[in-house]
A and B are shown apart, each in its own frame.
Chain A
Amino acid sequence: MPRIRNTIRELRAAREMTQQQLADRIDLTRQTVIAIEGDKYSPSLETAFRIAQVFGVPLEQVFQYEGKGKR
């Protein structure tokens, strides 16, 4: 099963940001931030970019795709 991992929890902790603060900045509910952090929900591309923008890092530093590539 292809999986998208993320480092949101670590990035948030480094900036002392709460889940609610992150949720407010990207117009998500706290429950959705919890689901994303727990790899239970893969956000839309737009939301993924907005999360990366909030942390000021490239997208691939926030999200990593661990599925098998197909050529």
Chain B
Amino acid sequence: MSSLSYQERSLYGELLADLAVFVPYFVLIHTGHPSVAFIAGSITILIVAQIVLQSIIAIATRNRLKDERDRLIALRGYRAGYFTVVSLMLVGMGLLWMHSMHDQLNAGHMGLHFLSVFFAVLMLAEVVKTVAQLIAYRRPL
């Protein structure tokens, strides 16, 4: 761990928090219908986990410098995340439309289904962005 820069440690913390929230969310969402409270709870836990982990990493790391390579890698990560958002949003919207066409969705809960898809897409894009950045740190640029 000592060979990792602050940015890398921060990314591992980010990934850990994302997976700790997203994996249970993904499993539980398939066992029952999504609710606003469940999605809001997941978002709250994610924010708290990120704050706690990032604070610990910041306290434990003396040199928190960010240089040009870190900024370049961050841009690459955001590009990967953006393409994930766009691709998955199209797939998600398409699936919602298909299910609604076959009367498999309760029209009264359409907003909730949109929220659920939107949250899942954002979480997956966040994981892709973080993993892309971590890979970039280990490969030639």
Name A's B-contacting residues (CB within 8 A).
27-32, 35, 39-44, 47
Chain B binding surface SS class? loop
Chain A binding surface SS class? loop
Interface residue B104 (Cβ < 8 Å from any Cβ of A): no
User: What is the distance, in angstroms, from B8's C-beta to the closest C-beta of chain A?
Assistant: 8
Decide: A32 and B140 in contact? CB cutoff 8 A.
no
Nearest 10 Cβ contacts at the A-B interface: A40-B140, A31-B5, A32-B69, A28-B67, A41-B141, A29-B5, A32-B67, A29-B67, A29-B65, A44-B68
Distance between Cα atoms of A29 and B68 in the complex (Å):
9
User: What is the distance, in angstroms, from A5's C-beta to the closest C-beta of chain B?
Assistant: 13
Decide: B67 and A35 in contact? CB cutoff 8 A.
no
Most chain A CB within a 10 A radius of its CB, from B7, B69, B139: B69
What is the size, in residues, of chain B's interface with A at 8 Å between Cβ atoms?
17
Given A29-B5, A31-B5; A41-B65 close (CB under 8 Å): no
Name B's A-contacting residues (CB within 8 A).
3-8, 63, 65-70, 137, 139-141
B8: A residues at CB distance < 8 A: 31
Decide: B141 and A27 in contact? CB cutoff 8 A.
no
User: What is the distance, in angstroms, from A53's C-beta to the closest C-beta of chain B?
Assistant: 16
Distance between Cα atoms of A30 and B69 in the complex (Å):
11
A40: B residues at CB distance < 8 A: 139-141
Distance between Cα atoms of A28 and B68 in the complex (Å):
8
User: What is the distance, in angstroms, from A41's C-beta to the closest C-beta of chain B?
Assistant: 5
What are 16 contact pairs spanning A and B, CB under 8 A?
A28-B65, A28-B68, A29-B6, A29-B7, A29-B63, A29-B66, A29-B69, A29-B70, A30-B5, A31-B3, A31-B4, A32-B70, A35-B140, A40-B140, A42-B141, A47-B68
